[in-house]
Every structure is written in structure tokens, then in C-alpha cells.
Structure 1
Amino acid sequence: MELDLDYELWPFYDVIVGDKYVIGIVRASNQRAYVWHRESGRFLGEMMPYGKGPGEAINVGSAVFIDDSTALLFDMGLSRATVYRLTPDGFSFDDVIDTAAWSSGAI
């Protein structure tokens, strides 16, 4: 697997390798997530999680693939998970899930 890493995105805090995509979480002032198409190695961009309000600082704590074209980015400080749909040409925001309900048993 070869990825286009010519973006000075270092150091990686975590790397999540899925069947079709790779997500790299970079440790910076705010942890950010970047995604690559695995087969082509093409860099698709930064997946920005959505906060509770405009301009709110967010940190990607972890990420997971729920199928071969859907990823969740977690910010446990804000109790949010952001859902993204992935394609070989890019990705799109799909939804925000309030993860506070997960720990309260309200789901």
C-alpha cells in the first residue's frame, strides 16, 4: 500500500486502515483526521468533525469504519461523532451523532 504523504502531516497519532480507505489522525494543536483512498493512494483531504456551535474547537480522538464507505470521527470531549460517506473521489458529511446518549443508555 502506497499513500501520497506529501502534505507534511506529522506526527500521526493513530492510523485506521480500512478495506478501501485509510484515516490518519495527526496530533497538532487540535487533532485532525485526514483520509486517503487505499487502492490509488490518493489524498482525499481533511475530514473536519462538526462541533456543537460555530467556531468551536474540536479534536478527533479516534475514528472507525462502520462499513467500506462510511466512517465515524469521535470527539469524546464534545460527546460527538461525525459521520462521513467516502468515495474514491472524496467524501461528504452525512450526520452528527450525540454520543452522550450512548453512555446514558438512552439509545
Structure 2
Amino acid sequence: MTREEIYNSIWTIAQEEVTSQGYRFAADAEGQIKEFIRHGVYNNMTATDIFNGSKIAEAERNMREICQELCRRERQRNQHIIVESRTFTATRFQFCPRYPFC
């Protein structure tokens, strides 16, 4: 896979995971998570990692877990159906370090 294909795959996973729980990303949170994914794929994954199926699967699994936590936190905070920027920021710090994102 190319880095762009990995990025697109992980972004799709993030969208599907959040949508499956009845949420969507606020515009600013969407920008943050896209940058989070881009940084992980383009800066933290090595040339070897992008051809390693288990590393790609680990990145995908970690993104699912992060998105599940985003939705869990939003459910606790309010009745909105939007994952907000501040929720993403708090969750990111809880999950780091997490391959390959941080």
C-alpha cells in the first residue's frame, strides 16, 4: 500500500466507527483527526511499516479504539451527535503514545 492508501483507509475507519455510533466529527475536530492520521502515516510509519500488514492492522485497530473513546466521552458530556475538538484533544493525550499516531 502507498502512504496515501493507508491514510485513506485509516480515515475511512475513523469515519465509519464514529458514524456507526451515531456521531459525526465537528469541522475542527475532523481537521485535527485528519492531521493526527496524516502525521502518523507520513512521519511515524517507516518505509518498512507501510508494507507490513501487521503494522497497518495495528494502526487501524488503534484508530478504532481512539474513535470508540471519542464517542464514549461525548456520550458522557452531552447529548450532541458531534465529536468536538476539545474531546479529540483530551482523548489524544489519553491514548498517546499509540502507534503510529503519537
More strand as a share of residues:
1
Which structure ranks higher in relative contact order (CA pairs < 8 Å, sequence separation ≥ 6)?
2
Larger Rg: 1
Question: What TM-score results when the alignment is normalised by the length of structure 2?
Answer: 0.31
More helix as a share of residues:
2
Question: What TM-score results when the alignment is normalised by the length of structure 1?
Answer: 0.30
